[in-house]
Amino acid sequence: MSGANAIHGVILLGAIIATGTSEGALPVTLGVIAIVLAAVNMVGGFVVAYLLCAVGFILALKGLSGPRTARTGNAIGAVAAVVGCAIPFFYADLQHVGLILGAIVVGSVVGLIGARQVQMTQMPQMVALFNGVGGGAAAIVALLELRELAEVDSLGADVPWFTLLATGFTIVVGAISFAGSVITFLKLQEVMTSRPVVFPGLPVVFGLGLVVAVVLVVLGIVSPALVVGIVLALVGLLLGVLLVLPVGGADVPIVISLLNAFTGLTVAAGGYVLGNTLLLVAGTLVGASGTFLTRLMANAMGRSVGNILFGALKGGSTLGAGEASDRPVRSAGPEDIAILLAYAERVIVVPGYGLAVAQAQHTLRELVDVLTERGAKVDYAIHPVAGRMPGHMNVLLAEAQVPYEQLVEMDDINGDFKNADVVVVVGANDVVNPAAKTTPGAPIYGMPILNADEAKQVVFLKRSMRPGFAGIENELLYEPATTLLFGDAKDSLSKLLSAVKAQ
């Protein structure tokens, strides 16, 4: 039997075994992969497989647009990615296959361990790291391609200028994405301060860096050389650091989304350089969706992307951690709050990052279930940037089996706050801070917020009087209609649940 027929036979056997296995995600995934590869092998080309993978990526994005279909969309995207990575082993003349397989094994193990161990509260940091790795990988591949293109040019062969332009673009933007993503990780992980870091002359240095990058790209087109690419990569790393240092507080997740778009563009440009249609399609999808998400997040913050990136240079960026206030507030115990909830017919819950930190979503759902069983109408008000990434609260509450119907977006629920008897704010702060509407010059001024201040009574579950991620006080805490319940969110909700059941 020839090598091709042997491969064909193994693939078909794998398809039969996998699809005939008992129910489960892994057998189905293996079956789909094997069947696709078998079909492609019978057709005699990899173009069909790349086309199917591209369609899979598009369907994955569509699935991820809604909570009900997100799991399916993620699975489709994962299968398409695995198939796309497997195709070159069958239809490309690969060298150093052992090293490639070794790198795949190492990367798979690291990714699996990371995905298993990462907490929901650390998801933005993980996204930042994964995004940075993608940008760095694209830059390295482009450097290797530049070396080959330089050798071709030295032999007198004609190298298309646009290919050299795309290569230079991939190097510099990939390096920016890598360095910037590392800084966002350090800020969110609190390894370094989350406050803006600025120094005299930063705009000048950044501007000169951009000019140098453009000059190097042009030089790489006129006279391609590996050393030019290496210097360009170093300049890109510097630009990435300088781009993110002035960003602070709640703006960091938006920059992660922007850098994700950068990585997508580098992958698309790299796909053009390599002549790989699948990379071109995947990179374009990531770049477009990342850009769209960045604009949505910026709109949710009521600010422009330019202000988010460079606002700190004139005092306009969210500032990060601040000092705890010693102003007097009205506080109460779980029993008093339980009495308040017992007479409430309309309750709105505002979840935030503190809920995720305390892992209190299951206890909160139990409390809401009890209130619902007693006749109260209860909904969760979801702000677009609650937590630290879009969808953070949706995923967290879905994990606790909260019905999708109870998750109501800001625009749909803001009109209901004036009719709410009680609003329970769990671990949120900036998304209900009236300063966004009443205090010009505040870091969050202009940001659309949840209108919790319009409710008859507001209950805040807080660990301390420290301000939110924006670093400013929330005047809602000091209003006569506001009551604070201090303590860890999970512990406070457990006590409150017991007190409500005892009513």
On whether the CB atoms of residues 170 and 270 are closer than 8 A, the answer is yes
In the three-class reduction of DSSP (H, G, I as helix; E, B as strand; rest coil), residue 348 is classed as: strand
Task: Report d(CA 162, CA 141) in Å as an integer.
Answer: 17
What phi and psi values does residue 422 have, to the nearest 5 degrees? -140, 135
The whole-angstrom separation of Cα 390 and Cα 275 is 34
Dist. CA 231–CA 177, nearest whole Å:
16
User: For the packed helices 47-63 and 277-301, what is the interaxial angle rounded to 10 degrees?
Assistant: 10
Amino acid letter for position 380: Y
Q: How far apart are CA 435 and CA 441, in angstroms?
A: 9
Distance between CA atoms of 262 and 265, rounded to whole angstroms? Answer: 5
CA distances (Å), 206 to each of 134, 199, 220, 239, 425, in order? 23, 11, 21, 6, 41
Task: State the catalytic residue, choosing from 430, 453, 488, 491.
Answer: 430
Q: How far is CA 30 from each of CA 11, 34, 58, rounded to the nearest angstrom?
A: 10, 6, 20
Contact 185, 125 (CB under 8 A): yes
Site of tokens 């005892």:
502
Tally of CB atoms within 10 A around 13: 12
Cβ–Cβ under 8 Å, residues 293 and 253: no
CA distance 150 to 114: 38
3-class DSSP state of 431: helix
Over its C-alpha atoms, the chain yields an Rg (Å, rounded) of 26
**Residue 430 bears catalytic tag:** yes
Active-site residue numbers?
430
